């Protein structure tokens, strides 16, 4: 298992399945994955080439 604050990079093995998870930070909540718009903060991926994953956080304040 690896963890890191963004931006961060990990070296993964092609064809191997991985579980990813992004959490909120401070008052910013996880919103979605940028590439898919999926609002589930956990997911399964399999790497077949260089890949970037970006978690979008919602830091807006409500009045």
Q: What is the pLDDT of residue 60?
A: 84
Would 34 be classed as within a structural domain? yes
**Cβ neighbours of residue 54 closer than 8 Å, sequence gap 6 or more:** 33, 34, 35
Would 6 be classed as within a structural domain? no
CA-nearest of 12, 13, 37, 33 to 22 is 33
Angle value at C-alpha 43, between 39 and 49, nearest 5 degrees? 115
Q: Which residues pair with 30 in a beta bridge?
A: 57
Q: What is the pLDDT of residue 8?
A: 81
Q: What is the pLDDT of residue 62?
A: 64
Would 24 be classed as within a structural domain? yes
**Is 63 a residue whose pLDDT tops 60?**
no
Which structural domain, as residue segments, surrounds residue 29? 17-57
Would 37 be classed as within a structural domain? yes
Would 45 be classed as within a structural domain? yes
- Pairwise CA distance, residues 23 & 37, whole Å: 15
Domains contained in the chain, number: 1
pLDDT tens figures, 1-53: 677 776 788 888 999 999 999 999 999 999 999 999 999 999 999 988 888 88
pTM of the model: 0.77
């Amino acid at each position: 298992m690896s963890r890191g604050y963004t931006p961060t990079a990990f070296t993964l093995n092609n064809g191997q399945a991985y579980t990813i998870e992004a959490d909120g930070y401070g008052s910013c909540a996880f919103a979605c994955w940028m590439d898919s718009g999926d609002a589930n903060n956990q997911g399964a991926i399999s790497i077949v080439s260089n890949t970037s994953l970006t978690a979008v956080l919602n830091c807006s304040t409500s009045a």
